[in-house]
Amino acid sequence: MSEAIDLLAALGVDPTLLSSGPLAARSPIDGAELGRLCPTDAAAAIGRAAAAFPAWRDTPAPRRGELVRLLGEELRAVKGALGALVTLEAGKILQEGLGEVQEMIDICDFAVGLSRQLYGLTIATERPGHAMRETWHPLGPIGVITAFNFPVAVWSWNAALALVCGDPVVWKPSEKTPLTALATQAIFRRAAARFGAAPLGLMEVVIGGAEAGATLIDDARLPLVSATGSTRMGHAIAPRLAARFARALLELGGNNGMIVCPSADLDLAVNAILFSAVGTAGQRCTTLRRLFVHADVYDPLLARLRAAYGAVKVGDPRDPATLAGPLIDRPAYEAMQAALVAARAQGGRVHGGERLLAEAHPDAYYVRPALVEMPSQTAIVAAENFAPILFVMRHDNTATALSWHNAVPQGLASSIFTTDLREAELFLSAAGSDCGIVNVNLGPSGAEIGGAFGGEKATGGGRESGSDAWRAYMRRATNTVNYSPTLPLAQGIRFNVE
């Protein structure tokens, strides 16, 4: 508790926000309460963001970029404290907490450059004396709903782009990680104060649960909602956004696979599997969950993996030696155990998965990461189990492994380990992996901000962060200008009275 108070003070959070209220913020490290909060009036927050829109829309984009540049500076100044707060509230190891803040800084840098590159096309026109072009305009205030496992980075992927695109942001963070959101808001306010001309309401935080998120979903003042979370959440919100013709940027569950081929460099593969299956205690959307290993290398790879899994230190994520911190809460632990029971019933051989440190931390949920050998891709393998469970399956050829790989509802991240050019290029081709992220000789997790991030099928189809993801936050207008003294019609149509 005192650690949280110290960190929040270092980050400039108003302490009166934390002293009372019906919502508890807890640390998964020991289950302790970190503070109590009041829910925010979501409709009022949307109103403030909507009121901020005209002034921000009319601010030139490179000026808007200056605010994001200042935000990046403020984040650099508190990287240590915010990273430590991410560790305290989400339970990821400090290296990953710091990495998450670095990701925020990186996307700010990206967005600053982008603020001078919101380009549209000029297009050849069939009519003489005419010019045709595309222009990109701010869209309006946008809603951002985020998950617990990347409590601040996902906000920044959306907010840094939205702000340079001219859109105010209303952010509904996970109810499991409200403190990092309040800290981010305090950091943003310092950047806005230095900027001097940011309208009030430009970045609103809505503290609350699914019902607060639902207010964002149904409010016609938000033309876009970017929502990150489970596929279950996506099923609940997508039809409601569609009913009011709002844009939906959906970043939902993954069930990420890796194919290991006979020619794979096993030294690389072992390290990649360990980071992508065990990192963040298996609670990344891009966590490796399904491993398809060729029969020729199955036994040696599995032996090495079992040894590596046995050496992973599970424990307090603030300890530099720890590689896997706690699960977020008791329901996450119970879901993991239920998945292991189902895996056994479906023919699986489970190594690990048991609870650890229960005596020292009765209200926290540490587990040994599980390796589960499966005879085939059964129903439990095809579901996203948001825990450190890696299902391992044996294959005889890459084509078969590829068909298994694609035979799940989700389509987020994927990878292949091979030194055979044909296998690598097949995996990257139209006939290869059906995911949004497709890697060769590295794991499926740990994306950089420069690429567009997201996935297909039940992952929702959204793309955020780098590349041209900014276009989702703007509206496109096609402009045609007639600078001639006549009025030729397109397609050669004649339409005269005489």
The yes or no reply on residue 174 touching ligand NAD (CB under 6 A) is yes
355: burial class by Cβ within 10 Å (0-12, 13-18, 19+)?
A: middle
Are 182 and 206 in contact by the 8 Å Cβ rule? The answer is no
Stretch that binds ligand NAD, among 90-98, 140-148, 270-278, 420-428 (CB under 6 A): 140-148
| Residue 149 is a binding residue for ligand NAD (CB under 6 A) | yes
Element (H, E) at 122: strand 122-123
Residue 48: CB minimum distance to ligand NAD, A: 20
The candidate with the shortest Cα–Cα distance to 406, out of 379, 378, 442, 433, is: 433
Site map (CB under 6 A) of ligand NAD, residues 338-377, x = contact? ----------------------------------------
Cβ proximity to ligand NAD: between 145 and 246 the closer is 145
Q: Does 466 bind ligand NAD (CB under 6 A)?
A: no
Integer Cα distance of 427 and 438 in angstroms:
8
Task: Please tell me whether residue 180 binds ligand NAD under the rule CB under 6 A.
Answer: no
Residue 144 makes contact with ligand NAD by CB under 6 A: no
Residue 259 binding ligand NAD, by CB under 6 A: no
Select from 56, 309, 386, 404 the one that contacts ligand NAD (CB under 6 A).
386
Q: Which two tokens stand for residue 67?
A: 């605010």
Instruction: Report, in Å, the least distance between residue 395 CB and ligand NAD.
Output: 25
Report in angstroms how near the CB of residue 209 gets to ligand NAD at its nearest: 5
Distance CA 286, CA 255 (A): 8
Least spacing, CB of residue 485 vs ligand NAD, in Å: 54
Report if residue 222 touches ligand NAD, rule: CB under 6 A.
no
Rounded Cα–Cα distance for residues 214 and 233 (Å)? 10
The one-character DSSP state at 490 is: G
Cα–Cα distance for residue pair 58/408, rounded to 1 Å: 45
210 near ligand NAD, judged by CB under 6 A: yes
State whether the Cα torsion 197-15-108-135 is positive or negative.
Answer: negative
Per DSSP, the chain holds a count of helices (H) and strands (E) of 15, 23
Kindly tell me which of 157 and 298 has the beta carbon lying closer to ligand NAD: 157
Catalytic positions are 251, 285
Q: How many CB atoms lie within 10 A of CB 217?
A: 23
Per CB under 6 A, the list member of 229, 348, 443, 466 interacting with ligand NAD is 229
Distance of alpha carbon 100 from its chain centroid, rounded?
Answer: 11
Tell me the pairing of strands 355-356 and 366-367.
antiparallel
Exactly one of 38, 236, 357, 383 binds ligand NAD (CB under 6 A); that residue is: 236
Cα distances from 42 to residues 6, 38, 184, 211, in angstroms, run 28, 12, 18, 10
Binding residues for ligand NAD, total number by CB under 6 A = 29
Question: Would you give the binding string for ligand NAD spanning residues 285-324, x where CB under 6 A is met?
Answer: x---------------------------------------
Q: Is 217 in the site for ligand NAD (CB under 6 A)?
A: yes
Does 148 participate in binding ligand NAD (rule CB under 6 A)? yes
> CA 163, CA 414: separation in Å to the nearest integer?
31
Query: Do 321 and 23 form a contact (C-beta atoms < 8 A)?
Result: no
Options 254, 282, 352, 411; binder of ligand NAD; rule CB under 6 A: 254
Pairing state between β 256-260 and 288-294: parallel
Select the residue whose beta carbon is closest to ligand NAD and give its number.
213
Which residues are 259's β-sheet partners?
Answer: 292, 416
Q: Tell which one of 156, 433, 459, 465 touches ligand NAD (CB under 6 A).
A: 459
Greatest Cα pair distance in the chain: 94
C-beta of 219 vs 384, nearer to ligand NAD: 384
Residues that bind ligand NAD (CB under 6 A): 145-150, 172, 174-175, 209-210, 213-214, 217, 228-230, 233, 236-237, 251-254, 285, 384, 386, 412, 459
